[in-house]
Structure 1
Amino acid sequence: METIDPARITLRPFELTDAADFFSWASNDQRMKNLKWTALASREQALTTIREICMPHLCYCRSA
C-alpha cells in the first residue's frame, strides 16, 4: 500500500462544483456500506447533499 504524505493533503470546504466528483464516490454501494447514509442515486442528490448538509456544516464536511 502506498503511503500518503499528510503534508501534501489540503482540505477545503465543498463547493457546488464538486457535485460530479462527490457523486462518483458517494454513489458506490461498497464505499457507502459502512456509513449512516445510503449511496446517492443521482448527481442532483449530490448537489443537494453538498448544498444542504456539507455547506452549512463546514466542520464535518471537507474535500481534499
Structure 2
Amino acid sequence: MAHICQMWVTPAVRGEGIAKALLSEIRTWALDKECECLALDVAPCCRKYFLKKLRRKKERSKQTL
C-alpha cells in the first residue's frame, strides 16, 4: 500500500494541473512497485475544494454517457 499524506497545492496555482500531474507520477510509481492500494489523505482545509472538484468530475462523466 502506498499512502499520500499532507499534499498541498497553493491556492494561487490551483487548477493548473499540478496535483493531477503529481498524482499521475505517484500512481505510475505505485504500479511499478506492485502496490495494491494507493490512499490519499486530503488536508482538512482542502477537503471542501477536493470534494467539490470530484463532484464536478462525476457530473461531467454522467453527461458524456
**TM-score scaled by length of structure 2:** 0.28
When Rg is computed on C-alpha atoms for both structures, the one with the higher figure is: 2
Bigger share in strand:
2
Bigger share in helix:
2
**TM-score scaled by length of structure 1:** 0.29
